Amino acid sequence: MIALGPSANLPPHIWLEPFVSRVSLTLAIVLLALAGCDRAAPDPAQGEGALGAEKASLAGEVDRSRAGELMPAETVRLPDGTQLNLGALQGQPVLLNLWATWCAPCKKEMPLLDELALERDGELRVLTVSQDLQGAEKVLPYFEQAGFQALEPWLDPHNGLGQHYDAGLPMTVLYDANGQEVWRIAGDYDWSSAEAAGLIDEGIGT
């Protein structure tokens, strides 16, 4: 083996090799980290505004692929302890909406759902069920500030509905009077539009 002399006597390409190798390794690590971020799931901590920016302009699309499926027999609650088993809701169409206070598009459509509940009173029940992990602590102040006239602050303490639908928020599902799904919409929707009225009529049978 031939011993190398001081770095000052080495050709430039020899003494640059360790530096180039370190730079290449650093770039590789950074690229792998960025790739991992793209695949990362949303932060389960549900921080204020989480997912809000990326979903703020999302327009939901109608999905009929699960039409006919029964409403899940999950129990939701009001802050005062009142319980409601969704599986027992039959005889009237139900529009079930999953939302959260940290979800910007959810809060954008909540006033529209309140107006829809008032307009369709007697022929459609609108249930908005919060997916906030903090429950009433977050939901009640929001309802008090919003001043809804028809919506009630239903809670999903065990996140049963969130797990059942396994989808992002907001999620809205229409069930007919027999408790069978008609369609679902992932993302916010203009519930004041003529298109929305036609979709609701499908579940009511008019």
Residue by residue, DSSP assigns 122-150 as TT-EEEEEE--TTTHHHHHHHHHHHT-SS
Ranges of H-type helices in 11-125: 12-39, 52-55, 104-119
Taking each helix axis from N to C end, the angle separating 104-119 and 136-146, rounded to the nearest 10 degrees, works out to 60
pLDDT band, very low/low/confident/very high, at 163 (cuts 50, 70, 90): very high
Per-residue pLDDT of 181-205, as tens digits, reads 999 999 999 999 999 999 999 999 8
pTM beyond cutoff 0.85: no
Rounded-to-integer distance, Cα 84 and Cα 104, Å? 27
Looking at every residue in the chain, the average pLDDT score rounds to 80
Rounded mean pLDDT of 158-186? 95
Per-residue pLDDT of 76-119, as tens digits, reads 999 999 999 999 898 999 999 999 999 999 999 999 999 999 99
Residue 185 bridge partners (DSSP) = 62, 172
